[in-house]
Amino acid sequence: MPDHAELTLADGVRLHVQISGPADAPVTVVLLHGWCLDRRTWHHQIRALLARDNVRVVAYDARGHGRSTATRRLSATLGQLGDDLAEVLGTYAPRGPVVLAGHSMGGMTIMEYADRHPEDFASRVGGLLFASTTAEGTTHTRYGLSPQLAMLLRAAETTGAGVLARCGAWRPHRAVLPALRPGIRWLLFGDGHGEEAVEVTMRAVARASLRSIGGFRASIGAQQRLHTLAELGDVPAAVLVGERDRLTPPPCAASIADALPGTELTVCPGAGHMLIVERPDEVTAALIAVTDRAATSTAGERARRRARARRRSGYDRAA
């Protein structure tokens, strides 16, 4: 059975953290969920990883999501999430290689951690998985619509997000969730998904605060981190995307894979944005492959990446 813990961050926000697997496992996998979701969206991958008996799994609800406490509006940024990830790693995975797996906003969180904590990233991270995410904000987002309709929808979304960001820690009222379900299904899902996938998504949305639903939108839309990825070197990585992803379409994944040397891009036919529950077997297989490579990575390999990170950060010149 997994252990559940509460981590109090530097600014007082409390994160709900789920820890599973042996403490002395050769590798720790940290799972980061998407915007308006929670750690439960990774349940297929958690079950598969724990069946292997040699992996420690850490999954947590980001601030303002799931069972974690609300965030202040000014702290609803990807940069803050990157700093939160650094605190989680320092507390629950202080030693040995880690694999970071991010879906949507979770992938963008990993990029912020790499950009803001380059030495820690280089010395600790032995593998990466990016699912349905982007390093270019909303550059490629068209919602599957014509350019004109996409522009109108983005304007409405941006305005609505600004309103929601000022609504505080309230969560979507249970009575409105059935009305939201068709829109969420259209926006987040492709073909051939089961009702269980929609249900776990709706339960997660119900636990996100209105401040988080609206507050993170500006940061997500503005992020540009291809240059950060290009400086990570040869970290084992996998990039996956759904062919019918309306939020982070295949060009988003292609640019990430191009920035990471030797990374294979997987486009799942007919799938949408909720790839980790729509095509769990494909995501799990890629994650296990990366995890196996990370488990055999050496401290020397990570030290070389750390040296490159020091040069990037200006550490060597300052010394």
Euclidean distance between CA atoms 309 and 124, whole angstroms: 12
pLDDT recorded at residue 318? 44
109 contacts 35 by C-beta, under 8 angstroms: no
pLDDT at position 315, please? 46
Q: What is the pLDDT of residues 225-262, one digit of tens each?
A: 999 999 888 899 999 999 999 999 999 999 999 999 88
How buried is residue 23: exposed, middle or buried, by Cβ count under 10 Å (0-12/13-18/19+)? exposed
Q: How many Å apart are CA 155 and CA 23, to the nearest integer?
A: 47
Helix residue ranges, H only, 166-231? 177-188, 195-207, 210-215, 217-222, 226-230
pLDDT score of 274: 97
Residue 319 banded pLDDT, cuts 50, 70, 90: very low
Which of 19-28, 73-82, 168-177, 246-255 shows the lowest per-residue confidence on average (mean pLDDT)? 168-177
**Angle at which helices 78-92 and 105-116 pack, to 10 degrees?**
80
* Tokens found for residue 138: 């909303």
3-state secondary structure of 301: helix
Ordered domains of the chain (ranges, CATH): 3-318 (3.40.50.1820)
Taking the CB of residue 286, how many other CB atoms lie within 10 A of it? 21
SS3 of residue 99 by DSSP: strand
Q: Average pLDDT in the 46-58 region? A: 93
**What is the average per-residue pLDDT within 134-148?**
75
Instruction: Report the range of poorest mean pLDDT among 43-52, 67-76, 91-100, 204-213.
Output: 204-213
**Angle, CA of 123, 240 and 186, to the nearest 5°:** 130
Q: What is the pTM of this model?
A: 0.89
Lowest-confidence segment of 41-55, 88-102, 150-164 by average pLDDT:
150-164
Q: What pLDDT, on a 0 to 100 scale, did the predictor assign at position 178?
A: 82
DSSP calls for 134-166? -SSTTTT--TTS-HHHHHHHHHHHHHHHHHHHT
